[in-house]
Amino acid sequence: MKKLLSGLFISVCLMAFSSLFAQMPEQMIKIIVSPDHDDWQYRTGEKADFTVQVFFHQNPLKGVKAYYEIGPEKMDPVKKDSVVLNGKPLTLDGGTMSTPGFLRCIVTVDYEGRRYRGLATAGFSPETIKPTVKYPEDFRAFWESAKEELEKVPMNPRMTLMPERCTENTSVYHVSLQNIGNSRIYGILSIPRKEGKYPAVLEVPGAGVRGYSPDLNLAERGVITFVIGIHGIPVNLDPGVYFDLGSGGLREYWTNNMDNRDRYYYKRVYLGCVRANDFLVSLPQYDGSGLAVTGGSQGGALSIITASLDQRVKYLASFYPALCDVTGYLSGRAGGWPHFFDRNNVKFHNLKEKLETIPYYDVVNFAREIKATGNYSWGFNDETCPPTSMYAAYNVINAPKSLHLALETGHWTFQEQNILMQNWLVEMLKK
């Protein structure tokens, strides 16, 4: 009976952890696009072919037209055509790339009034991709000065017990802390109830405006967790409040004051993550040495940034980081989310003042400075955070690092990725 309960508990915990990241839904029509190299990787100048298979009720679909386009990710296709499916695998000549990057094949099928889509992305010498964003001479001085500004602000923590969220083994609190500019940062803290000292994990959020839940999974495994929001508002409000803010005052917050490096929205956010760590290390239950940060997308970016800014962080786990090499589009290749300079946004942001601000906030330049041991994970099919941009940041990291590729994933994760990352965090923190 104990083994059964333990198994059920672990399953529930893993489901909770995986819910932090998007999951890919199943569809009736499945379009499978496969590069002809098992690892989806090629040398520059090497030819890549793509095999396309379309299934309905797990059988090959016939007599329907498939449309395809092939080209560098996020760029205009260099090849575009259609073919009627005959029930056999279709092989497409993808060509090659002469410079390091990613070549994407997208296939669409219209069936019974609905459009289905599949893709695969071949990487060409991705380990040699170099960033396009500039490194300011005063980058380090700018952020040291910002951290000194933060140090002058009292933390003034406010903790409110959330009885409805507590468990037999974990106490849960809604927390707010004083941040720069008379703002506050809010989050959900989970602390193991058993007397003792514990490592801690800061969990930083993906983009958007929402409330947050405690990470009881890690807490039940003997880790203090602090799940934070970034917008200076409580994280336990009615969902309608977040919807209204996300559609109104906080819509496209990532562009707020982008023309001024001292007033840009993310300055308060980045420093707020450091302030969250100030709080974690001040807790009497903290073990004094084991501190990690984790997140996906915007949270993947904030994980790298926080670990770079705060030498107390020993480990970071980052899924598909955003905000990497965002100037890539200005050099004719994909840039990172939020795609400031793609064809839809370039006319609004390709301005001198904004171009001067960007280098102080791009993940690439924080990655150059990082010392923490990192575990990273993403897929080649990510259209939100293009792999070109993520490799541009990963390749400049000189600290110990490992990359777990889930090749076919887009901006989502398999449960296996989440389990591996969580187990890695626990193992590192409890060495």
Catalytic residue annotation = 297, 382, 411
| Residues 6 or more apart whose Cβ sits within 8 Å of residue 420 | 377, 404
State how far the Cα of 277 lies from the Cα of 177, in Å rounded to an integer.
11
Classify residue 165 by burial, with Cβ atoms within 10 Å: 0-12, 13-18, 19+.
middle
The dihedral through the CA atoms of 409, 414, 420, 421 has a sign that is positive
Q: Which helix (H) or strand (E) is 123 found in, with range?
A: strand 114-124
State how far the Cα of 114 lies from the Cα of 17, in Å rounded to an integer.
33
Place of tokens 């058993």: 194
Closest CA to 144 of 259, 308, 302: 308
State how far the Cα of 361 lies from the Cα of 66, in Å rounded to an integer.
42
State how far the Cα of 48 lies from the Cα of 283, in Å rounded to an integer.
54
| Residues 6 or more apart whose Cβ sits within 8 Å of residue 187 | 174, 175, 176, 212, 226, 227, 228, 229, 235, 276
State how far the Cα of 170 lies from the Cα of 421, in Å rounded to an integer.
22
Q: Which helix (H) or strand (E) is 29 found in, with range?
A: strand 29-35
Q: What percent of the residues of the chain are helix, what percent strand, and what percent coil, each to the nearest 5?
A: 30, 30, 40
State how far the Cα of 413 lies from the Cα of 24, in Å rounded to an integer.
8
For 111-164, give the DSSP string: ETTEEEEEEEEEEESGGG----S---TTHHHHHHHHHHHHHTS----EEEE-TT
Residue 283, sorted as left (phi over 0), alpha (psi -120 to 50) or beta, turns out to be: beta
State how far the Cα of 79 lies from the Cα of 94, in Å rounded to an integer.
8
